[in-house]
Amino acid sequence: MTTGTWQADSSGRKRPWLTLERHEAILGYAYISPWIIGYLVFTFGPVLASLYLSLTTFALIQPPRFTGLANYARITTDPTFWKSLENTLYYTAIAVPVGVTGSLLCAMLLNGRIRGRALFRTIFFLPSVTPIVAAMMLWIWIFNPQVGLINYLLSLIGIDGPGWFASPTWSKPALIIIGLWGSVGGGTMLIFLAGLQGVPIELHEAAEIDGAGSWSRFWRVTLPLLTPTIFFSLVMGIIGALQLFSSAYVASSGAHSVGGPSQSTLFYVLNLYKYAFMYWEMGYGSALAWVFFFMVLLLTYLQLRMARSWVYYETQSGGI
């Protein structure tokens, strides 16, 4: 029973309603309220709005007109959707495994006792903090078919370099190389470094006493204990690769149209951007965004299911 600012407890005695615990809880909610309000207004609200817009025809200059599932039906017959999906999966299937493997190798190299280790770690990490637009301007020059550095070096050994961003065949490999330059040695490498330093040295010493060589210790001790780190890096790497936008936009918006040549760099998010902000088809762009959301959700769920068969956690019973 509550009366004013007092309430009766189970024994009938009155105590203040605003107890210390409630006072701290109210203060806590008051402190985080700016973030909650900002999230509801600038994130969750637009997400719900995009769900509604995906069911409409909306060209910004006119009110949205409800059309039901017409945008989603259009997606299934849109050739640019399938082309962008193909390009995105191609990029992801190559860039993510190579990037994770390269980051692990760099972490193992920089985890050893080598001279200038701190300097090498800084050098390897620098590409991941370089502004992507500035880096892309440099890479566009490096991959230039006529005056670029790569084709010049290839010409010294008698090889005619490809057209790179001017070629539908070589544009995606060029973007994969740029992506690996930014990802190998970046945040993923730091995560692997932390994982390597978390492997108990006693396990390596015990394996060495039992006669295990360097490769055997890595395969039977280090790698099983790194599987949670590998799994996390794969999940985050796939999500990041599926969202490729900036490098493809800058690379393809110079000498030819965005997504060119011949739609070879038209990745999913870039295709979404073109429909929403270049063609002003906000309804169709919102539908593409929701399809993309469910694709990422499905891929992440499948990875979580498959992880049960190969990811080892220290809390599991049994040996490695």
pLDDT digits (tens, 9 = 90+) for 8-58: 555 555 566 667 788 888 899 999 999 999 999 999 999 999 999 999 999
What mean pLDDT value characterizes the chain?
A: 87
AA identity, residue 310? W
Q: Can you tell me the mean pLDDT for 268-274?
A: 94
pLDDT band of 260, cuts 50, 70, 90: confident
Q: What is the pLDDT of residue 286?
A: 95
pLDDT band of 102, cuts 50, 70, 90: very high
pLDDT band of 117, cuts 50, 70, 90: confident
Express as a percent the part of the chain with pLDDT over 70: 91
Q: Which two tokens stand for residue 266?
A: 């038209």
Q: What is the pLDDT of residue 318?
A: 47
Residue 98 has pLDDT above 90, yes or no: yes
pLDDT digits (tens, 9 = 90+) for 59-95: 888 889 999 999 999 999 999 999 999 999 999 999 9
Q: Does 260 or 27 have the greater pLDDT score?
A: 27
Express as a percent the part of the chain with pLDDT over 90: 52
pLDDT band of 202, cuts 50, 70, 90: confident
pLDDT band of 254, cuts 50, 70, 90: low
Q: Is 68 left (phi over 0), alpha (psi -120 to 50) or beta?
A: left
Q: Can you tell me the mean pLDDT for 197-202?
A: 84
Q: What is the pLDDT of residue 316?
A: 58
Q: What is the pLDDT of residue 2?
A: 46
**Domains (ranges, CATH) in the chain?**
18-71 (no CATH), 79-307 (1.10.3720.10)
Q: What is the pLDDT of residue 270?
A: 94
Q: What is the pLDDT of residue 53?
A: 94
